[in-house]
């Protein structure tokens, strides 16, 4: 007989090796409200970890996937979510890096540690468990660890190696990293995506210097995290660009020195930026996922040595809006995934820096709601009212 443990937001004793029945927010179709329902979560298999999620939050990647913007990435039913923090409930065969009771951050961009990319200090890509929005099953056997709790036992698909909109989730061991149990666990949720992506883009990808100048296009959580990273490095000028006028006020908390609303500008944005930055910024960051904005960001950098960092998710199949000859100007364009951080080897140090106050955390959490209000949290993000809404599970 199959061992099953029923969990309703509280301890169910020794659940290791058993199927757990718990709550999850399930997406049944593109743009449809998430349904809080009981699901079955299988025990972790070889080199897998089962985690009790304590807090999770929503970023624009979840929003885009929920809307089904890219048809090739659609898979339903599915459990979204990739920004979270939790405690290891049990581990599968061969797992040695973490153990039951450890505080962990899920990693949508894994680090196997053995592939060519993982061994290369100049990239945080992973050939085996890197970010892949089309992947919807586990690496070991191509199956899911989630099924519906009814007699149908219908498979429920995974998302971005993580699926954190569930009380329990199963991940490859390369997609979890242990953090200090003394770290403020709710705030550590931010490190699993938005904060690390933005701060890391400034620190690791661009490596901004003290006294340099920066322009950031899109002042959502990621864009403001770029600003926070730049502020911590002593950048002299941080220009924020956003169509939401409220971001001019919010941005000041994170070091924004100048604000441009494209809808109010009497000239092209890149010309405005060149005026106030003495010919162009040293670094620009595109955090929107819009090709026109990407081109503007490129044109806003200083000819000869400007760098544009692309962070926005581009669902359109259109190509880069640049002529190859434009790159001979000395300007360059690079992309940044998870801020260039290698999750398992570098994130614990970044978590320690955050705990020590090197970068701000509190200001990014603008809302907190219970898990069953997850659809309201999505709406807050859609309406541009939240940076991060943290859900307690």
**Residues pairing with 19 in the sheet:** 4
**176 with 53, same domain?**
yes
**128 with 217, same domain?**
no
20 near 46, Cβ under 8 Å? no
Whether 348 is in a domain gets the answer: no
> What mean pLDDT, rounded, does the chain reach?
94
Domain boundary among 322, 337, 352: 337
Whether 12 is in a domain gets the answer: no
**313 with 376, same domain?**
no
| Chain-centroid distance, C-alpha 45 | 26
pLDDT digits (tens, 9 = 90+) for 277-316: 999 999 999 999 999 999 999 999 999 999 999 998 777 6
Does 1 have pLDDT greater than 80? no
Q: How far is CA 268 from CA 236, 274, 294, in A?
A: 23, 10, 14
Does 225 have pLDDT greater than 60? yes
Structural domain that includes position 46: 20-192+361-392
Nearest by Cα to 57 from 77, 78, 82, 34? 82
177 near 53, Cβ under 8 Å? no
Q: How far is CA 244 from CA 130, 254, 259, 313, 362, in A?
A: 33, 16, 11, 19, 22
| Chain-centroid distance, C-alpha 300 | 26
Predicted local confidence at residue 70, as pLDDT: 76
**40 with 188, same domain?**
yes
**241 with 263, same domain?**
yes
144 near 315, Cβ under 8 Å? no
**146 with 65, same domain?**
yes
Does 216 have pLDDT greater than 90? yes
**135 with 101, same domain?**
yes
**186 with 106, same domain?**
yes
**42 with 178, same domain?**
yes
Of 3-7, 42-46, 316-320, where does mean pLDDT reach its minimum?
3-7
Whether 154 is in a domain gets the answer: yes
Provide the terminal-to-terminal Cα distance of the chain, rounded to the nearest Å. 30
Whether 273 is in a domain gets the answer: yes
**180 with 217, same domain?**
no
φ and ψ at residue 236, rounded to 5 degrees: -85, -30
**212 with 168, same domain?**
no
pLDDT digits (tens, 9 = 90+) for 47-62: 999 999 999 999 989 9
Identify the residue whose tokens are 């995934």.
Answer: 337
Rounded to an integer, the average pLDDT of 90-111 is 97
Whether 42 is in a domain gets the answer: yes
Number of domains in the chain: 2
Identify the residue whose tokens are 């029923």.
Answer: 6
**170 with 238, same domain?**
no
Identify the residue whose tokens are 């070091």.
Answer: 255
pLDDT digits (tens, 9 = 90+) for 188-207: 999 999 999 999 999 999 99
Whether 173 is in a domain gets the answer: yes
């Amino acid at each position: 007989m199959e061992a099953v443990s029923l969990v309703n937001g509280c301890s169910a004793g020794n659940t290791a090796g058993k199927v757990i029945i718990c709550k999850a927010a399930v997406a049944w179709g593109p743009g449809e409200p998430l349904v809080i329902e009981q699901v079955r979560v299988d025990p972790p298999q070889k080199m897998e970890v089962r985690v009790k999620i304590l807090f999770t939050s929503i970023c624009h990647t979840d929003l885009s996937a929920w809307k089904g913007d890219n048809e090739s990435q659609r898979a339903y039913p599915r459990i979204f979510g990739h920004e979270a923090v939790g405690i290891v409930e049990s581990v599968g065969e061969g797992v040695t890096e973490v153990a039951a009771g450890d505080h962990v951050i899920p990693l949508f961009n894994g680090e196997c540690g053995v592939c060519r990319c993982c061994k290369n200090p100049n990239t945080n890509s992973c050939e085996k468990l890197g970010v892949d929005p089309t992947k919807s099953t586990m690496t070991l056997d191509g199956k899911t660890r989630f099924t519906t709790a009814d007699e149908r036992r219908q498979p429920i698909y995974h998302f971005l190696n993580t699926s954190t909109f569930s009380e329990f989730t199963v991940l490859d061991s390369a997609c979890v990293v242990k953090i200090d149990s003394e770290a403020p666990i709710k705030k550590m949720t931010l490190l699993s995506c938005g904060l690390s992506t933005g701060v890391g883009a400034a620190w690791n990808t661009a490596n901004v210097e003290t006294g340099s100048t920066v322009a950031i296009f899109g002042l959502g959580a990621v864009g403001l995290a770029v600003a926070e990273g730049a502020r911590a490095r002593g950048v002299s000028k941080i220009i924020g660009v956003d169509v939401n006028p409220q971001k001019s006020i919010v941005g000041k908390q994170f070091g924004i020195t100048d604000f441009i609303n494209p809808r109010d500008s009497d000239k092209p944005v890149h010309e405005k930026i060149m005026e106030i930055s003495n010919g162009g910024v040293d670094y620009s960051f595109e955090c929107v996922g819009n090709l026109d904005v990407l081109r503007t960001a490129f044109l806003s950098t200083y000819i000869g040595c400007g760098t544009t960092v692309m962070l926005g998710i581009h669902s359109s199949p259109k190509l880069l809006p640049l002529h190859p000859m434009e790159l001979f100007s000395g300007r360059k364009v690079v992309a940044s995934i998870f801020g260039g951080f290698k999750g398992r080897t570098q994130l614990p140090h970044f978590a320690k820096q955050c705990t020590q106050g090197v970068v701000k955390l509190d200001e990014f959490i603008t809302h907190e709601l219970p898990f069953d209000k997850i659809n309201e949290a999505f709406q807050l993000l859609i309406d541009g009212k939240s940076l991060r809404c943290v859900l307690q599970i």
